[in-house]
Chains A and B, each alone.
Chain A
Amino acid sequence: MNIIQTQNLTKIYRRFEKEPGLMGSVKSLFKRKYSEKVAVNSFDLTVEAGELVGLIGPNGAGKTTLVKMLTGIIAPTSGGVSVLGHYPNKLENKFKMQYAVVMGQKSQLFFELTPSDTFRLFKELYAIPDDVYKRNVDYFVSLFDVSEFLNVQVRTLSLGERMKMELIAALLHNPGVLFLDEPTIGLDAAAQRQMREFLREVNEKNGTTIILTSHYMEDVKKLCSRSVVINGGKKIYDGGTEELFKKYEQFEGEDIGLVVERIYAAKDGGGE
């Protein structure tokens, strides 16, 4: 069953352009110049329930914009999008109760509160029954082994500890879909590994559909059976992760830009 479906999904941003210097600023007061940036271009995507899909691409490729449209944060310029049977930008509560999003560079936790207090707030937000809440907190806390950090202020946690709490907070209400935007950014190798193991368990045991964007090829390679490569807002690869890496095995390094270049080269030579 498809739970995510997009057709010709497009997002165009209008950007204000200013000539350099003081004169440029004065001119811009009277005459504004705008340019258009196509962040996501006619994007088609279908994701089935229970899949773990890696969304990869270099900086500015359009990954985050795509995730923001799928979660309803921003409205598409054109095209169709349906997630769990909803149009995301309607921002319906019924829809928001069914998914979760974790952004590596934006926290959903309250920095002056403890993780435990934030979890209680989320319990109210998502109307999580007492038994489900207790079971999930116990399960995820033991899975990540973070019980000792539950009652300390979030601001005193390390990045790795905070990201674990972010993931726990996101999963308390048993979301059907979990969007992860660069969840391992800035983490050390051990924390990245722990995060991957956690996500694999959540996907396999709970059947949670996971859409993961990452710069780190290791994340996608170790976790996702399917990869979608995006560049310049366009989908340039959609298929098995193993095949993707077999095809372009000489670029096994961390640089996603090189993989993208390789795909382009293969396309130009008719190899794709």
Chain B
Amino acid sequence: MTRSLRFIWLLIKMKIVRTMAFRFSFFGVFFADGMLFLIQLLTFAVIYGQVDSIGGWSRGQMLIFIGTFSMINGLNMIIYFFGVVEIPWKIRDGRLDTYLTKPGNALLRLTFESVNLGSIPLLFLSGAIIAWGVSIEGIVITVPLMLGYTGMVLLMTLLWYDMEVILRTIPFFVISATSIDWLEGDMLMLNFKIPGVIYKGFFRILFYFALPYGIMATVPTQLLSGAMTKSGLIHSLAVVLVFTVFTFWFWKFGLKHYKSASS
């Protein structure tokens, strides 16, 4: 375990060194991510500026929701997105070979080898939006509430990771899975804008159980604003557990079907 942590830390340091080798991309990412966030915020201001309540959620809750989604997205971008997004290409062109022949968990290495510090400002901006929502709602922040919210955000970041890995494990079995990237992008965009509480019937089953993008920012928001039910909490924890266990099993199953590529 200590060795794995030391290795992850070294990977992160190496990545920073590598990124700094290209000065433009190092500073460029700060600028690009900041701009993306501002555009997103402007979109929300236009859409939600005229209404006070959506699906029973107040304006403050909506702001917490937007900030939370952005926070989870920021963590995703910093920690694993750029590593995980490359997995299908590495499966297709056989670059995965090198990972499989080295000690340590190949998925762990793929996950942490492309950390992106450029998204750190996104976390601060997201934090500011959440704080704004909290002040509008008049929520009294206590240490247990803060810890609970932080824990839930981290769990939902793990769930986001699970979904990304599951979708990017499919290329072990099929020739091309480009449409999966599109599907994921569309699902995320939709759930970035709409809180899960709005979904009913089929869509609720889809976004709460099958493709649980609907709970990712909704559940931490409910927890912070005091709207969380006991069954909702149990459901969220169960979904994270089931998807995490499935992710690691599916990845191992995929490895058994890895065909590499001719050289």
Task: Number of A interface residues at 8 Å Cβ cutoff, please give it.
Answer: 36
| Chain B 101-132 near chain A by CB (<8 Å), digits 1 or 0 | 11110100000000000000000000000000
A sample of 29 inter-chain contacts (CB < 8 A) reads A13-B259, A16-B175, A64-B263, A71-B100, A73-B258, A73-B260, A74-B259, A74-B260, A75-B256, A75-B257, A75-B258, A91-B106, A91-B255, A96-B103, A99-B101, A101-B101, A103-B263, A104-B263, A106-B95, A107-B98, A108-B98, A112-B18, A112-B22, A121-B10, A124-B6, A125-B102, A125-B104, A127-B3, A181-B263
| Chain A 10-35 near chain B by CB (<8 Å), digits 1 or 0 | 00010010000000000000000000
Contacts A16-B175, A124-B3, A124-B10 hold; do A64 and B262 have CB atoms under 8 A apart? yes
CA of A132 to CA of B22, assembled, Å: 33
- The answer to whether A72 and B101 touch across the interface, beta carbons within 8 angstroms, is yes
- The answer to whether B263 and A89 touch across the interface, beta carbons within 8 angstroms, is no
Decide if B21 is an interface residue (CB 8 Å cutoff): yes
- The answer to whether B94 and A106 touch across the interface, beta carbons within 8 angstroms, is yes
How far is the CB of A31 from the nearest CB of chain B, in Å? Answer: 15
Total CB contacts across the A-B interface at under 8 A: 74
Contacts of A68 in B (CB 8 A): 97, 260
CA of A184 to CA of B22, assembled, Å: 31
- The answer to whether A73 and B100 touch across the interface, beta carbons within 8 angstroms, is yes
Candidate in B22, B257, B260 with the most chain A CB atoms within 10 angstroms: B260
User: Given A120-B10, A181-B263, list of 17 further CB < 8 A pairs?
Assistant: A13-B259, A16-B175, A64-B262, A64-B263, A68-B260, A71-B101, A72-B101, A73-B260, A75-B257, A93-B103, A101-B101, A103-B98, A103-B263, A104-B263, A108-B98, A112-B21, A124-B6
How far is the CB of B12 from the nearest CB of chain A, in Å? Answer: 11
CA of A16 to CA of B173, assembled, Å: 12
- The answer to whether A126 and B103 touch across the interface, beta carbons within 8 angstroms, is yes
Contacts of B103 in A (CB 8 A): 93, 96-97, 125-126
Find residues 1-51 in chain B having any chain A CB closer than 8 Å to their own CB.
3, 6-7, 10-11, 14, 17-18, 21-22
Decide if A113 is an interface residue (CB 8 Å cutoff): yes
| Chain A 62-84 near chain B by CB (<8 Å), digits 1 or 0 | 00100010011111000000000
How far is the CB of A63 from the nearest CB of chain B, in Å? Answer: 10
CA of A241 to CA of B43, assembled, Å: 72
CA of A91 to CA of B100, assembled, Å: 7
Contacts of A113 in B (CB 8 A): 14, 17-18
- The answer to whether A121 and B256 touch across the interface, beta carbons within 8 angstroms, is no
Contacts of A104 in B (CB 8 A): 263
Contacts of A72 in B (CB 8 A): 100-101
- The answer to whether A96 and B101 touch across the interface, beta carbons within 8 angstroms, is yes
- The answer to whether B258 and A117 touch across the interface, beta carbons within 8 angstroms, is no
- The answer to whether B7 and A125 touch across the interface, beta carbons within 8 angstroms, is yes
Contacts of A124 in B (CB 8 A): 3, 6-7, 10
Contacts of B257 in A (CB 8 A): 75
Contacts of A7 in B (CB 8 A): none
Contacts of A75 in B (CB 8 A): 256-258
CA of A136 to CA of B40, assembled, Å: 53
How far is the CB of A29 from the nearest CB of chain B, in Å? Answer: 12
Find residues 125-144 in chain A having any chain B CB closer than 8 Å to their own CB.
125-127
Q: Which residue of A lies closest to B22 (CB)?
A: A112
Q: Which residue of B lies closest to A123 (CB)?
A: B10
Contact of A110 among B18, B256, B262 (CB under 8 A): B18
Which 6 pairs between the two chains have the least Cβ-Cβ distance? A112-B18, A96-B103, A105-B263, A93-B103, A124-B7, A108-B98
Candidate in A91, A100, A103 with the most chain B CB atoms within 10 angstroms: A91
Contact of B97 among A99, A100, A103, A126 (CB under 8 A): A103
Find residues 45-81 in chain B having any chain A CB closer than 8 Å to their own CB.
none
CA of A117 to CA of B10, assembled, Å: 10
Contact of B98 among A97, A106, A120, A182 (CB under 8 A): A106
Candidate in A101, A106, A120, A127 with the most chain B CB atoms within 10 angstroms: A106
- The answer to whether B102 and A96 touch across the interface, beta carbons within 8 angstroms, is yes
- The answer to whether B7 and A106 touch across the interface, beta carbons within 8 angstroms, is no
Contacts of B18 in A (CB 8 A): 110, 112-113
Find residues 217-248 in chain A having any chain B CB closer than 8 Å to their own CB.
none
Contacts of A108 in B (CB 8 A): 98, 102
CA of A182 to CA of B262, assembled, Å: 13
- The answer to whether A93 and B260 touch across the interface, beta carbons within 8 angstroms, is no
Contacts of A125 in B (CB 8 A): 7, 102-104
CA of A181 to CA of B94, assembled, Å: 14
CA of A68 to CA of B95, assembled, Å: 13
Decide if A153 is an interface residue (CB 8 Å cutoff): yes
CA of A74 to CA of B106, assembled, Å: 14
CA of A13 to CA of B263, assembled, Å: 15
Candidate in B101, B102, B175, B255 with the most chain A CB atoms within 10 angstroms: B101
| Chain B 228-263 near chain A by CB (<8 Å), digits 1 or 0 | 000000000000000000000000000111111011
